[in-house]
Chains A and B, each alone.
Chain A
């Protein structure tokens, strides 16, 4: 039974990985990666790593992939597939790409030799002894209690450093993706507020005094057709 499950999950993981590399649309690549991650979680379960499998599904396939989906929907651009890329031309020649693919194949052969050709006899075994019903104590291999005890005793420093790293990455992500240049472009600054609907322009409010809504008022005094500043059009900001 576990052999059948291993072959299903292993094939799914490899197929998902192939899909990520080969598919043309980045959105489909993300979906293939989700499939790959769930297959990998099944493999983790077969290796008795229950907590890591749960974290894989909840955090990785759930939260991180949602972030990817949002950015793909925001940037959303067709990219050419692997086959076209290997044949096509670009600023960097396609010969380098082909060399990259060959290098990847060589890496696979080398890894297989290094992993399967070691002197470790335990590679051919089924792992250390494991009894599923071992009393449910805190030292059961792979359970949340076991992982939690390790994280808070032997690996406390790694735990704290990882949490600090997450904090730094969150701050860095906000700083990288923020709007630059103060309040943004001109048309974004003159947004329509609910107050504009309640009172007419040019009634001497403080906001007009400091120049907030002065420009449309001047336009009206000079006889130009009065135009409210409109909301920025999302479609006009797309590159190319």
Chain B
């Protein structure tokens, strides 16, 4: 398949992730949809890396995976802290930064 097909798949995955981030209420699912967006970007990076025959895109994809792992760690820590304080697990209810 040509590179354009891979880019189309990455665009679809990224848009689906964006829709999920904007429409879902559970912060766990919002984090999952953020992962979708990062994975769409990763697929585009690796497709471009293949296009030029250059490994820089793959390195950038690995760095993006690292950042995604950090984001998951912090985000899930925040969700566990919310649950411990018996706050609602719902991004609509959590509209104040005050603890």
Contact = CB atoms under 8 A, between A and B. Distances in A.
B47 A20 contact: no
Interface in A136-172: 141-142, 146-147, 150-151, 154-155, 158, 162, 165-166, 168-170, 172
Interface stretch (A122-130, A186-194, A205-213, A222-230): A122-130
Chain A interface mostly: helix
Chain B interface mostly: helix
Contacts of A115: 4, 7-8, 10-11, 44
B28 A71 contact: yes
A72 interface: yes
A169 B58 CA distance: 23
Contact of A172 (B2, B17, B73): B73
Nearest to B19: A104
A21 B65 contact: no
Given A37-B39, A101-B22, A74 B7 contact: no
Contact of A2 (B1, B14, B25, B79): B1
Contacts of A166: 66, 69-70
A169 B3 CA distance: 35
A18 B19 CA distance: 10
Interface of B: 1-20, 22-26, 28-29, 31-33, 35-36, 39, 42-44, 46-47, 49-56, 58-59, 61-63, 65-74, 76-81, 83-84, 86-89, 92-93, 95
* Smallest CB-CB A-B distances: 5 pairs: A128-B53, A100-B22, A176-B77, A104-B19, A169-B70
17 contacts: A6-B6, A20-B36, A21-B19, A21-B33, A26-B32, A44-B43, A52-B62, A74-B80, A101-B22, A103-B22, A111-B15, A122-B52, A124-B3, A150-B56, A162-B63, A169-B71, A172-B73
